[in-house]
Amino acid sequence: MKYEVITKEDFPSFVNGLLSEIEVVGVKMKEGKFHYDKIKSYDELCLDYDVTLIPPKKYLLPPKETLLKFSLGGAIQVEPSIDATPRVILGVHPYDIKAIELMDAVFSDSNPDANYMERRRNTVIVGVDCRNPSPNAFCPSMGTDTTETGFDLLLTDIGEQYVVAIGSEKGEELLKKHARTREATEADLAQRKAAQEEALAKYKLSIKAAVEEIPELLEKNYDHPLWEELAAKCLSCGSCTMVCPTCVCFDVQDDLELNLTAGERFRQWDSCMLQGFAKVATGENFREDCTSRLRHRYFRKGNYMLKRYGKLGCVGCGRCIGACLAEIANPVEAYNRLKEGS
């Protein structure tokens, strides 16, 4: 991998340069919480944050997205609808980059999803290594505290400068065009490593099992009493899945305008934790009890996605831990409990 260095003094003009040619979204702070939003200038941008409420997933799989538009007056006409606005997502943490790599696998698999793929092709990812992790994060246990893939550019704060890892030609071009940089030296790279190690030491949570053990740990514990214990407290509210960067399931519905001659088909985020997720029209519900839904979510993250897409479905961001009002959506506690019992 190639590495460049940009000074913090020069960095704003890089961002403003990007803004002159493409939509840029980045992390902003509002009332002490971080969230992704469109930025108009460098000043709005926050690059030192712990975790955002909602992952950058929303730019690749919007919470609600039109798939088709149709007109019904006269002969029925149906058009596909794909919004693929070119965009830079600036300041994505490595765990969220890993989650995007998983989404790429899901949506490119067998039947490529043009809505996602077109948008993904038009999205530039400029990541940043996380300096101050969230107290709920357990990225080192999942191997997602740093990443070598999945980005166009990746920044690491080394004090007065950023080391910029170049992940793609597109990233390199944008950097060349909008930033004054110099090639990184051995010393810069040593500082980059030190910065990553400093951040690593700040994580508070860890799983007692190795990440490779997780799929089997689950398989051995399909009928563990833990699932029922957690389910007894679960509200089936779906908050844990709404904030998760690797949850990709959706519902599809039609909407008609009041004139009844035009309408659209849209998809929106859905959740396997909701009671009716697996219910069919005849009334049969294939995951009727909360225990089976909760177990499904854990298995999907820790086992099924790996089998299907070659990547684990949890990146250790800890968002679910923070989002769960019942304080039970805690993968660290769950895996540790299974590990202790095994």
Ligand X SMILES: Cc1cc2nc3c(=O)[nH]c(=O)nc-3n(C[C@H](O)[C@H](O)[C@H](O)COP(=O)(O)OP(=O)(O)OC[C@H]3O[C@@H](n4cnc5c(N)ncnc54)[C@H](O)[C@@H]3O)c2cc1C
The site for ligand X (CB under 6 A) is made up of 276, 279, 281
Residue with the closest Cβ to ligand X? 276
Minimum distance, C-beta of residue 238 to ligand X, in the bound complex (Å): 12
Residue 129 interacting with other proteins (CB under 8 A): no
Minimum distance, C-beta of residue 214 to other proteins, in the bound complex (Å): 14
Residue 254 interacting with other proteins (CB under 8 A): yes
Q: Name beta bridge partners: 89.
A: 25, 125
List the helix and strand counts (H, then E) for the chain. Answer: 13, 12
Minimum distance, C-beta of residue 107 to ligand SF4, in the bound complex (Å): 17
**Between residues 150 and 313, which has the closer beta carbon with respect to other proteins?**
313
Residue 296 interacting with other proteins (CB under 8 A): yes
Side-by-side strand order, sheet with 250-256? 77-80, 64-71, 262-269, 250-256
**Between residues 10 and 333, which has the closer beta carbon with respect to ligand SF4?**
333
Q: Which stretch binds other proteins (CB under 8 A): 85-93, 137-145, 264-272, 327-335?
A: 264-272
Matching residue, tokens 């909360």: 290
Contact 51, 315 (CB under 8 A): no
d(CA 72, CA 251): 23
Contact 321, 208 (CB under 8 A): no
Which residues of the shown chain bind ligand SF4 in the complex (CB under 6 A)?
Answer: 234-240, 243-246, 273, 301, 314-320, 323-324, 326, 328-329, 331
**Between residues 52 and 271, which has the closer beta carbon with respect to ligand X?**
271
3-class secondary structure, 23: strand
- CB under 5 to 8 A by kind: which of ligand X, ligand SF4, other proteins, none does 226 bind? none
d(CA 325, CA 210): 28
- CB under 5 to 8 A by kind: which of ligand X, ligand SF4, other proteins, none does 212 bind? none
Minimum distance, C-beta of residue 257 to other proteins, in the bound complex (Å): 9
d(CA 142, CA 322): 18
Minimum distance, C-beta of residue 294 to ligand SF4, in the bound complex (Å): 6
Burial of 73 (0-12, 13-18, 19+ CB in 10 A): exposed
3-class secondary structure, 198: helix
Residue 105 interacting with other proteins (CB under 8 A): no
Cα end-to-end distance, the chain, whole Å: 41
Residue 259 interacting with other proteins (CB under 8 A): no
Contact 103, 247 (CB under 8 A): no
Minimum distance, C-beta of residue 54 to ligand SF4, in the bound complex (Å): 11
d(CA 335, CA 95): 19
Q: Which of 46, 53, 54, 117 binds other proteins (CB under 8 A)?
A: 117
Minimum distance, C-beta of residue 145 to ligand SF4, in the bound complex (Å): 13
Residue 63 interacting with other proteins (CB under 8 A): no
Token digits for 32?
């002490």
